[in-house]
Amino acid sequence: MALPSVVAVVVYGCSSDEPKIEDLCGWLADPENCYRKFAEDIAPNGIPRCTNLALDPNPVAGTEQIGGFQSRETLDNCFLASGGIIKFGMPIDLKMPKVPAEGVTFTFVNADESECGSGLFIASDNFKITINGDTVPDGQMLTEAQVAGGTYSLVRTGGRDTVTSTCPTEGHYFNLDQLSKCPEYTAILPKAEFDIVTGGLDENGNPSTCGSNGGNFGALTFAVNYPPTTGDLANAQPNRIEYFKCLIPPPPAMCVDMIQDGLETDVDCGGKTGCDRCPVGVKCIVDSDCAGGLICVSSQGIKKCAIDSSQTTSSSAASSSASSSASSSSSSSSSSASSSSASSSSSTGSGTTSTGACM
């Protein structure tokens, strides 16, 4: 079921027909209130009937629906480990990791590609969740294992502490200030959570102390607090249904992420890092930022790596000196060899000359 992109914030002016404010404490205390009945239908005993936990023959309340995105750059489809997909209406942008003003929309798709529900989150007290009900033939009743489904929404009135709570079959209008008279029911007030974590988690979505910035993975998590479906509601803790935790792939390691970050002096090089030293023409701060044989010099007000001309001159001079020395040594050796040859010839007479002619 498609959701509108925005749940409108209701605003009542002085001349508007504002609904009568109802008894919030009495509604929360009523075991037959429509939000609790909705929870009994779509999440009995804290186990959701929408999402793939419903396919588990032995589902456990509180089990996380772990999934993951294929790319850190495009957070649109989250593939659940147990099968199925969470499809986001608009990809989350990690450059601005916060819920946009128009909210976040998403659809629950089961492993068999059927849609079982959808959600919209703007704030903890401004959200909507729809669970698609089972279809039964005319004249027949739903079985205990089937879902009636429907939509629940909570909409905060702009600038006030009033909310409109709408169940599949009825709606109510409350002032949240009434909770001061019944604090024992505060925990089971309808509430949703949508968390955006950009890093610091391990591959299971748990807090991690390893990797850069405390961990490598991030996550998008959506959960709804429902009242318990059994027992007394006073001082009760809610059944927190986590519909998904979608892991965000870790960012590329520094030095190969194609951006200048950390202590790098330019993209993926220099600085007091393990990165490569910077080549000619790339920004630096000190000589050690540059590759071997290069120095850090100022060029038009910007320090860049450049060839060390003084080293080039010294190398040329050293090369010239070495050539000159080699030439002198060669001449000296030739002269010595001639002298020795003459001396030998004088000693041996015709024999040396003859030997020389044969060679």
* pLDDT, position 312: 62
* Nearest CA-CA partner of 188 in 221, 234, 119: 234
Q: Lowest mean pLDDT: which of 3-12, 146-155, 199-208, 266-275?
A: 3-12
Cα torsion through 55, 58, 60, 65, rounded to 10: -30
pLDDT at residue 174 above 50?
Answer: yes
Task: Enumerate long-range contacts of 201-208, CB under 8 Å, 24 or more apart.
Answer: 201/247, 203/247, 204/66, 205/64, 205/66, 205/245, 205/247
pLDDT at residue 326 above 50?
Answer: no
* pLDDT, position 130: 96
* pLDDT, position 209: 66
Cα 96 to Cα 187, 197, 272: the distances in Å are: 31, 12, 29
* pLDDT tens column, 202-256: 888 888 765 444 468 999 999 999 999 888 999 999 999 999 999 999 888 889 8
* pLDDT, position 313: 57
pLDDT at residue 70 above 50?
Answer: yes
- Residue 30 φ/ψ, nearest 5 degrees: -75, 115
Q: Strands 85-92 and 191-201, how do they pair?
A: unpaired
For the chain, percent of residues with pLDDT exceeding 90: 48
Q: Lowest mean pLDDT: which of 14-23, 58-67, 133-142, 325-334?
A: 325-334
Q: Say what the pTM is.
A: 0.70
* pLDDT, position 240: 92
For the chain, percent of residues with pLDDT exceeding 70: 76
Q: DSSP letter string over 5-25?
A: S--PPP---TTS-PPPP--HH
pLDDT at residue 319 above 80?
Answer: no
Average pLDDT, integer, range 249-273: 89
* pLDDT, position 291: 96
* pLDDT, position 178: 95
* pLDDT, position 329: 46
Contact yes or no for 194/106 (Cβ under 8 A): no
Tell me the pLDDT of the chain averaged across its residues: 81
Helix (H) / strand (E) containing 172: strand 171-175
pLDDT at residue 307 above 60?
Answer: yes
Sequence-separated (6 or more) residues with CB below 8 Å from residue 192 = 119, 121, 124, 127, 129, 154, 222, 223, 224, 225
* Nearest CA-CA partner of 39 in 199, 119, 173, 148: 148
Q: Over the Cα atoms of the chain, what is R_g?
A: 39
Contact yes or no for 295/306 (Cβ under 8 A): yes
Measured between alpha carbons, how far is 71 from 52 in angstroms, rounded to an integer?
23
Average pLDDT, integer, range 70-95: 90
- Higher pLDDT among residues 341 and 75, named by residue: 75
Buried b (16+ CB within 10 A) or exposed e, 110-145: beeeebbbbbbbbbebbbbbbbbbeeeeeeeeeeee
Q: What angle do CA 180, 182, 188 make, to 5 degrees?
A: 105
Work out the pLDDT band at 339, boundaries 50, 70, 90: very low
